[in-house]
Structure 1
């Protein structure tokens, strides 16, 4: 696991990441930007939230519907980077929380605020930002994201990724970082083994593959094998990495994380902004809701119906194909 250092651009101060210090640094810097600049498209203060059936988390965020940047039009999951479109080389210095430096790696990784945040402290990890890579997971960026999560050692930190045609808004490689105190359904739902390190979640409206990762076994190669398969088959996908209940008995005494990957129907074209969109957070059971009426009245059956709507239809067949990779 790589050692990771935070670098503050304005002072060139460096801090070696250790434990929950990372999330505390995000919170502190995020609050500074929120209070002292005008980079956010809207302010997030006290978000109203509701738990539906002791399971699904709803948070009311109407400004995200009307004030966010218009998402880029996406035609396929390997669409090339376009320097003429919005990308993270065009952001202001005020939006950068800090840079990340890996030992023995000169790539320029940055962590920036999401100027249209889903929730407080919503930030973006932009790996190798100067290389102008499209929104396609690379093995190097996957390792960086997982290393960051394992080094931070904070139960509230989650990492998410939306592929192109899976509601990614910007075609420039980035991961979402969230700090959320609530337990989410996918962190406790049961998993069943498929083959080797590959599992899938059971009895959940949106079927997903699951890998259990620990500091001793981050499973970068195994996970990337499935990602490559999805890319080869043009399968849109959403990824969510979070602390969760143990999947393999051999890890009972380890701090374990769930790497969840949803194959889904393509959302090619501009996002359809309704009561909520189904991207990674929603698939995890966490819904950013755009209207007061929907927030007050949505029930489990409404939420689960929408999750099923975007779930891939041949998941059982895909499970059989995925087994051949392990």
Structure 2
């Protein structure tokens, strides 16, 4: 479906190896990155929270954009991904409709191989999830055999930093806490992490033969969030609920942020909700306990999750 002079349409499973090869080349042989990612110090807290110390990300990254509306329009005058150096481009996928889906290095990476997928980058879309971009991400996830790959999305007012449509690509061998929890069946291929959890979430179990129907269901939920101005974070993973040839789309409705992302010890976005905490402060990294992480997560838990569930039942 997608073609590129770097990636053949019949071999999208080379996506990960190409990404790693090109990423390492740029990281090792150029000065494109704002800092180098080598061996990050790590620790596991309470057997479930995965911490990585990355102080450079706070001090050397680009200043996040100030955003106040979940559907804030794209602004050509502000930073966007069509302004990046061509040296940051890992490869591009050309869609059947002429759209260009570009994969870039993240010049301020959270971890090794942290990259950005920019669907329809030439169309200058705002950071608002779209049905076409969901399909693209799920297609990539199905054809990437490496189960260490996850793809994440942060909405505006959900700690997105740039108002230009993009997803984050991560490669991590450790399982994340959200991939090990017990989900309750909700409806169809939709599951629920209920209100007793730190931050409740929905999970869609996407199987290849029925991916279109499940994505339609997921889109109805995300469309509801957009209509109601509910900030959200999304994780795509191949780990969880059982089965290898399944993609899980996990979405958290969360409290809205306002203004620019604050570069404190950490910010609660898709990774933190998943149980992966990039920590910017060394003392915080050494001393933070599970109760501290849980308290920070709780700040972003919505009080109206039960009513959100009832409303979603009515639209599905």
Q: TM class by shorter-chain length?
A: over 0.9
SS in 1 for 2:158: coil
Q: What is the CA–CA distance in structure 2 between the aligned matches of 1:23 and 1:201, rounded to whole Å?
A: 30
Report the number of matched residues. 313
Alignment partner, residue 291 of structure 1: 281
- CA shift, 1:18, in A, is 3.5
Question: Is contact 2:58-2:263 (8 Å) kept?
Answer: yes
1:301 to 285, 291, 296: 291
- Relative to structure 1, is the Cα distance of residues 51 and 143 closer, same or farther in structure 2, using a 3 angstrom cutoff? same
Task: Report the Cα distance in structure 2 between the residues aligned to 1:16 and 1:319, rounded to whole angstroms.
Answer: 39
Which one of 176, 200, 203 corresponds to residue 184 of structure 1? 176
Shift of 1:255: 2.3
For normalisation by structure 2, the TM-score amounts to: 0.95
Q: 3-state SS of the aligned residue for 2:191?
A: strand
Distance 2:312 2:168 in 1: 26
- Post-superposition Cα deviations, 1:234-291, rounded to whole Å, max 9, x if no partner, equal 0010001112232xxxxx6662232111111111101122111000000000000011
C-alpha offsets along residues 62-115 of structure 1, whole Å, 9 cap, x if unaligned?
A: 00111110111101000000000000010000000000124x332111000001
SS in 1 for 2:91: strand
Aligned to 2:208: 215
| 4+ long deviations beyond 4 Å | none
User: Partner of 1:237 in structure 2?
Assistant: 232
On the 8 A contact 2:189/2:206 being kept in 1, the answer is no
The unaligned stretches of length 5 or more in structure 1 are 9-13, 247-251
**SS in structure 2 opposite 1:283?**
helix
2:5 alignment counterpart? 7
TM-score for the superposition, normalised by structure 1:
0.92
SS in 2 for 1:111: strand
Q: Distance in 2 between matches of 1:139 and 1:170?
A: 20
Question: In the alignment, is residue 24 of structure 1 matched against residue 22 of structure 2?
Answer: no
What residue ranges of structure 2 are gaps of 5+ in the alignment?
Answer: none
Which of 123, 141, 144 matches 1:152? 144
